[in-house]
Amino acid sequence: MTSRHVDVLVVGAGPAGLAAASLLATTGARVEVLEREQSPGGVPRHCAHRGFGNRPHAWTGPAYARLLTEAAVHAGAGLRTGVTALDWAGPRALTTVGPQGVQTLAARAVVLATGARERPRAARLVPGTRPAGVYTTGELQQAVHLYGQHIGTRAVIVGAEQVSHAAADTVRAAGARVVALVTELPRPPAAPARTLDARLRHRTPVLTGTTVTELLGRGRLSGVRVRHRDGRTATLPCDTVVFTGDFVPEHELARRGGLVLDPGTRGPAVDGALRTSRPGVFAVGSVLHAVESAATAAREGAHAATAVRDWLTDGTGGDPTDPEWPGGVPLVAEPPLLRIAPNRVTPADRLPYLLRTALPLPRPVLYVTQDGRPLHRERCRRATAVPHRPLTLTARWTHLVDPDGGPVHVTVT
């Protein structure tokens, strides 16, 4: 087993990892990005639609993936595809495997950018048979856009968020018909224009208050059973079903490493500098909050680059119990808020916070308190906060946090 050293090891060549690698390589650090897929770019690789990058609707996913990759390589980052980070070999060292076999890579800083994935059918405990024709959006998009595979003729999409509409577009691009989008929510969670477009232009029903209760068919899917919240049931004949959304962080490495996870996001807990619980280990992108946009992920990658650089300059880089590694205090989002990221806070933090709500909230106001002491009050820019869409909180109040105090709570009215 061979062993090498670099300054920064980035795990995952999606938008977050590539953005971090670009900036760090520009400053002269020896950066290596590991990507287990055969080509870099992460999820945008297989998103054919436009809307990637900072300029609105600027690039398609694959174009955006190429752009970020070229920037990282041009900046001097080493990019190795087809290499999997298997496990930790030390506080900031990883065991990897690729065509060259098993290697150990040690670094002064590790950036986890391992992304997120959709929960598949089984994890959602949808009963029934186990026929072919059951997809997640990730698999569907790769099948259609990367491999040109046949996916069936009639598809039911489970979910009605932004990603569900992207899945519907992929189904249509493959020449198949979208039977319906089905959501348990009482109102469609996607932007109203998106839902209208599906209903009017594509004549695709968006069924709200509806649960998929069973998959039918042997060999190939023949239909899905659905139940409306008023008790009515029906069978939607289809040969394809796509389970969309319900993202979970791909946190295997974080968990294997014993990093502290946030109970709300189930990704590694991080402070505003995107530092995890282990000195020298950072986390960026969708593994922190499954999921936000690719642009958000890239912004976080860039943001973390500053903290990584500081760590490389000031940090001991060797002592895992380094007192210079600020822990911060926990930042907790109270129901009906589902999660907040970052989810630890230090007085120096400047990165805005991303939240999600479980319920629609008209004219929401966010309150930040610590030990009963009010720190901040903020009216949200959005008129109504809705599930499956981000809600933001500025970091203008973090200097008021007592680093020796109790957890900071965020509530909403």
Q: Which residues are at the interface with another protein (CB under 8 A)?
A: 1, 36-37, 82, 84, 86, 97-102, 117-123, 125, 127-130, 132, 135-136, 138-139, 142-143, 146-147, 149, 213-215, 218, 248, 255
Supply the minimum distance, in Å, between the C-beta of residue 45 and another protein.
Answer: 11
Compute the Cα dihedral for 172, 174, 177, 178 and give only its sign.
negative
Q: How far apart are CA 85 and CA 101, in angstroms?
A: 12
Smallest distance, Å, CB 197 to another protein?
26
* Whole-Å CA distances, 59 to 49, 51, 96, 285: 8, 6, 33, 19
DSSP bridge pairs for 191: none
Instruction: Assess contact for 87 and 95: CB atoms under 8 A.
Output: yes
For residues 23 and 294, which CB has a smaller minimum distance to another protein in the complex? 294
Q: What sign does the dihedral 23-26-31-33 (CA atoms) show? A: positive
Nearer to another protein (CB atom), residue 211 or residue 392 = 211
Instruction: Name which of 87 and 371 has its Cβ closer to another protein.
Output: 87
Backbone angles phi, psi at 181, to 5 degrees: -105, 135
SS3 232: coil
Measured between alpha carbons, how far is 93 from 376 in angstroms, rounded to an integer?
A: 40
Query: How far is Cα 242 from Cα 233, in angstroms, rounded to an integer?
Result: 20
What is the greatest pairwise CA distance in the chain?
Answer: 64
The residue among 98 and 347 lying less far from another protein, judged by its C-beta, is: 98
Q: State the alpha helices, DSSP H only, in 289-383.
A: 294-314
Q: Which two tokens stand for residue 86?
A: 């298997």
Show the 3-state SS of 98-122. ECCEEEEEEEEEEEECCCEEECCCH
Rounded to whole angstroms, the Cα distance separating 100 from 306 reads 32
Q: Which is nearer to another protein, 121 or 339 (CB)?
A: 121
- Minimum distance, C-beta of residue 216 to another protein, in the bound complex (Å): 8
Closest to another protein by CB, 140 or 385: 140
Q: Which is nearer to another protein, 143 or 191 (CB)?
A: 143
Sequence-separated (6 or more) residues with CB below 8 Å from residue 23: 75, 301, 302, 305, 306
Min CB(138)–another protein separation in Å: 4
Place of tokens 């998106």: 194
Is the CB of 125 or the CB of 383 nearer to another protein?
Answer: 125
182, 158 Cβ separation under 8 angstroms: yes
**Cβ at position 240, least distance to another protein in Å:** 13
Closer of 98 and 326 to another protein (Cβ): 98
Strand 210-216 with 223-228, pairing? antiparallel
Closest approach of another protein to the CB of residue 213, in Å: 7
Residue 95 · residue 86 · CB < 8 Å: yes
Q: Which C-beta is closer to another protein: that of 130 or that of 373?
A: 130
Minimum CB distance to another protein, residue 279 (Å): 24
> For residues 119 and 389, which CB has a smaller minimum distance to another protein in the complex?
119
What is the rounded CA–CA span in Å between residue 271 and residue 79?
Answer: 27
* Nearest CA among 136, 205, 186, 187 for reference residue 166: 136
- Alpha-carbon Rg for the chain in angstroms: 22
